[in-house]
Structure 1
């Protein structure tokens, strides 16, 4: 089936007819943060544009790929606290934030750098930049399944997540806020305002400001976290054709004594277990620390030449600094009576990204067929310098029933001066084109092609070793969408990806890139998107097969390094649906199944090559499912329940250790005090399940999920 689909797509891609019968609109430079009406805040909207799936302003029904979105109304209905919670609501996504991994995402059998994580369409190419922060300033999270290099540049064989910030809106003036409090002294205060600055003729200006402050003592001992997140934007309509948006964001976060996981009991084989009595122990030193400071600047200019042709230019600047100071590895002795602590680590990451993207969209005719085009050029420079200091030796052995955590400077050698370790510079020049063709009234051909020239330079300061590598990547897609009826569409797609070796170039060493060429991926996907029961329900279904060659995987024998695997194949199915069972009762959910395995991979274990053919990658769940039920008891009262299931995952590439599956449940109650104010209570992890959201492969440590907690919140909007 997949081979026939591929041949059909390749044949169609040679067609000279490229068209569409709907005129493109000016790319939206505004995002409304006003909550949707209740009916809009439920279910799957197949007719809403999802910008992360194409530059042609296609909605989900028109896109020959699996695309989904958690919009602002959905995030509020589900009670998400950060953008990673929103990502986990999307089909097949399993995201967490263990220290050292930043924003970890597993999707379609891949993880790490194989899943693109973008901020407003910009890829920072560094996992630590996607560490989840408060969701208040974000308008929505969008997901594109499968290889997406054609849209976002090199990488992203499994898919791309796009975190999109609120921007100034022309819609109406608004003032909104939120205050919440929950277990472990966890609180959030947030405010947002959108305001028209002037009226009358001439240029019009609109401003938006969002700010949130969060604090928690954490469910792990001594893990206090506080963060402040600010977003400001100014939209200026110069005239009927020209508009400009200036967007600024700033984040500060500090976490004391970060939790690096709970050590698993010996022996390290089979189903891994922890001591639940001591599951909240923090084995880090007393003054362990994680800090980050980031800023964004975007300048977006939109110009409408006419109704058919628009231009957009986006200049972007990002600056981030992250500091780590921790004792990270913990291991039980054979009798499970004592824990040995080791792996002291101190590091600073300085990153700066500057770039400019130019896009032109045009709606016209070609050989008598309506044709929509998107052309673009982009250039970016991504620079990072790290300042590492690590000592892998054992520090001490403690009694888990009570111990003195000690101070970081108690560790011999950790008071050394800060020195540069490695600097990288990645210059990327790109050109891209997309097209949609209406071959018939019901059949459309969507194609895309992208070229990336990557110039990479790495300097190892200690050894004064330098390396300069260059790669050229061509990626694309060809897809067909057939409207079986006005309510049902079928699609098929073939897409490719390319990624430099080393996983993430921003932190790659000389050894990781010196002798390796581009990693490549290809996917065949078929699916359907449809409404049913007179529009009361909507659903999407997708089946795919992805083949990835020369992928980078974390080494199970050497911490903080990667190895090149020959080939991995992922085959899977994703289903999502929502249904208004009655006018008061909404059911929504999704389920994803994936079979991911290595086809070719000889792992270096103690100097011996060991085949991992047929084995599953680490931390990849075979099944992920979400379910939500919402019932309107009265016009101003609403109750709901939710459940999330994640199947077991392997903890090593030999698949001799695994972490059990888990299911967590939640309840919520919401009451509208008046037309502007709502009060809510949300109970998370109803059964107080003890579960691992992630397993550290090299450290063999659980990263535990949150215990049962109750949150109360008040939110208002004027």
Structure 2
């Protein structure tokens, strides 16, 4: 869609935040006006309960309280949460994924491909981090490159082309702000495929991924505790508690988790700490308020990959099936010829001994939900976020075919980030010419301050390929960059039911983005071209339909648009770079089918995405213009429980992603596939439960990922791989521990074939490849009471 010019009133943020406070203060007056029709009893929660589209059938074993809720104004559903018991369908399409729509629609009611992975699934499948969660989703791959951990590939797009959200709020581009995050404090992870700017704004060309923390519920207090330990000496521990207090209308949720995840490479680990809490207070049937706080920390020593090495040099130590192709080093320009991963480097750490990777994050948020009239609801929240991040590493490890040594180079950078914002929704349920209609109007504003001291010098050396002398970082000289970004957006989303089974769903977002950038050298002098200011005003939207042809069988189609910054990272834009926005659009159609008395479910989608005015990493820190990026593909997912003890599930995704008009001085990458994008991704699993006095379940999960390229040049291939996990758990009866209602012991073998494979490649560091973890054994215990 077109762009328009908007004035940049930073006062909008303050006014919006003030409105949040005043609305709460003026609540009694509003309540008096609508006392004629009070709301039904509500569960004090800042977001909608995940609820079924229709009464569930007799899938008793899948029922449980809908628990995935998020901050009301961040991505709140139009109607207050109600206490409800939900039957989870085989593909969880009863869930309300509010990162996909503010209309409170279930996955089946949304005219897009949406996937919600619940906390229960994360526990059963042993997903410890958000990267592992993504690897189980349809057509999604992920990697924890240390410079930009928790990076994702989805529908042909990667990293900052996919928005990452925290309870519906974006904090910045993924490749600058994301961190390794444990799943223990999460209730769900939502995946919205294709351009998603309508809901999450700039940066969502490939879609959005939303991390939803656990929220309070109304009812008896429930506690849970989890512990695990594996053969790499990693451990995880978590305690959570939530429910209603002795104060009428006051509910709480508190979670704390601690982990130490050790890598298979020498001297590599990540330690995490996450503490989150929230209070919900139901003032009356028409007003509820809430407040939340979260602290996250991760720190560790990191692995930057194994260097590509000439096959001729490795000789008998050359491996097959991990990488292939011919390569000229991007760093030292020597010709390596045919490359491999040397088996002597599988566990080698080339990072300096004093390396570190540290981050601390704090969230504060609060808001209200107010029923202004029987058909009119106002929701609002204000939030604040702060983060301190630091990298102090040797990041480049490039084999030099002239010296037969590994050339290294240091890099330091730190972030000090502050974000404050407000999101307000007005939800109107009405009737238009006899047709049911729901409309959500959203006003959001935020202000972000970002300070980035970084290295002004890059110490380097060369070490042997085997048993390198890791040494220390050495002399560090710093310089500083800053970015200030203010954002205001007004959006509308509407659902019109033309018949009982056919609905039109559409929306429009008008967004303003203002950027102020400055950069100084190591002496504090302002660099040429700085400071500078730039504004954008993208207009994006979506139009689509859903048609439930027969009960449980829903067809859908949509046309959606998106926009993001052409140079990949709004925090690092240079005054010499073209500062236009890219634009993206998608056509998508598909079907979602729930049948066999809710015991079976499948979905299919086909899409065509085009992104224009693209800039892409050419290796190192250089950017090339890649005029267009085209992506076409299909996705299929299915799950069935043919008999009570047996569950089968699987998914497969095919994507044809390529560049067009990608020409530059000296060559062309037109027709090449973007890095880290496999054509085929498939998952499959099966489990069987033995209903003995101590029920036992056995399961197996397999995953196949096709060939991927490391850079836009498409010269080095990370070869396809297939890995699998097996697990067994036993549920211990309540009579054993008395006070403990549920207890489960699990034994899991990850990568049980001990497959060696390349999991990810960072196109900014193309001389090295990240390897997947070898076979590991894990034992865990979980308790609920």
Same-fold call, TM cutoff 0.5: yes
Distance in 2 between residues matched to 1:516 and 1:387, nearest whole Å: 23
Distance in 1 between residues matched to 2:135 and 2:425, nearest whole Å: 31
Q: Does the aligned pair in 2 maintain the 1:340–1:394 contact within 8 Å? A: no
Post-superposition shift, 1:31?
8.1
- Quote the residue 1:316 is aligned against: 383
Corresponding residue SS for 2:576: helix
Change (3 A) 1:209 1:623: same
- Quote the residue 1:81 is aligned against: 128
Corresponding residue SS for 2:177: helix
Instruction: Say whether 1:251 aligns with 2:296.
Output: yes
Q: Does the aligned pair in 1 maintain the 2:43–2:217 contact within 8 Å? A: no
Corresponding residue SS for 2:96: coil
After TM superposition, the structure 1 = structure 2 runs for residues 123-522 of structure 1, keeping only pairs within 5 Å, are: 123-127=170-174, 128-200=176-248, 204-256=249-301, 258-266=302-310, 269=326, 272-334=339-401, 338-389=404-455, 391-392=457-458, 394-398=460-464, 400-409=465-474, 413-414=475-476, 416=477, 418-419=478-479, 421-462=480-521, 463-464=526-527, 465-512=530-577, 515-522=578-585
Distance in 1 between residues matched to 2:611 and 2:44, nearest whole Å: 33
After TM superposition, the structure 1 = structure 2 runs for residues 59-138 of structure 1, keeping only pairs within 5 Å, are: 59-127=106-174, 128-138=176-186
- Quote the residue 1:617 is aligned against: 674
Segments of structure 2 that go 5 or more residues without pairing to the other structure are: 1-38, 51-58, 64-87, 312-324, 328-337, 735-741
- Quote the residue 1:11 is aligned against: none
Moved more, 483-492 or 650-659: 650-659
Corresponding residue SS for 2:112: coil
Post-superposition shift, 1:197?
2.2
Moved more, 530-539 or 87-96: 530-539
Post-superposition shift, 1:565?
1.6
Distance in 2 between residues matched to 1:111 and 1:657, nearest whole Å: 18
Post-superposition shift, 1:588?
1.2
- Quote the residue 2:637 is aligned against: 576
- Quote the residue 2:32 is aligned against: none
Q: Does the aligned pair in 2 maintain the 1:26–1:302 contact within 8 Å? A: no
- Quote the residue 2:687 is aligned against: 630
Distance in 2 between residues matched to 1:534 and 1:272, nearest whole Å: 54
* Deviation by residue 1:386-427 (Cα, 9 ceiling, x = unmatched): 1111545641222x3323211112xxx32x3x44x2100111
Runs of 4+ in 1 over 6 A off after TM superposition: 23-27
Q: How many residues align?
A: 674
Corresponding residue SS for 1:305: strand
Q: Does the aligned pair in 1 maintain the 2:44–2:282 contact within 8 Å? A: no
Post-superposition shift, 1:301?
1.1
Change (3 A) 1:42 1:177: farther
* Deviation by residue 1:316-358 (Cα, 9 ceiling, x = unmatched): 11111111111111122438x9432322101111111111000
TM-score by length of 2: 0.83
Post-superposition shift, 1:633?
1.8
Segments of structure 1 that go 5 or more residues without pairing to the other structure are: 1-22
Q: Does the aligned pair in 1 maintain the 2:44–2:288 contact within 8 Å? A: no
- Quote the residue 1:17 is aligned against: none
* Deviation by residue 1:90-135 (Cα, 9 ceiling, x = unmatched): 1111111111122211100011211111011011123243222111
Q: Does the aligned pair in 1 maintain the 2:241–2:255 contact within 8 Å? A: yes
TM-score by length of 1: 0.90
Change (3 A) 1:171 1:146: farther
Q: Does the aligned pair in 2 maintain the 1:103–1:129 contact within 8 Å? A: no
Q: 2:647 aligns with which of 583, 586, 590?
A: 586
* Deviation by residue 1:532-590 (Cα, 9 ceiling, x = unmatched): 3343210111000000001231122xx23433321111000011110002211101121
Corresponding residue SS for 2:108: helix
- Quote the residue 2:332 is aligned against: none
Q: Does the aligned pair in 2 maintain the 1:213–1:228 contact within 8 Å? A: yes
Corresponding residue SS for 2:132: helix
Post-superposition shift, 1:298?
1.3
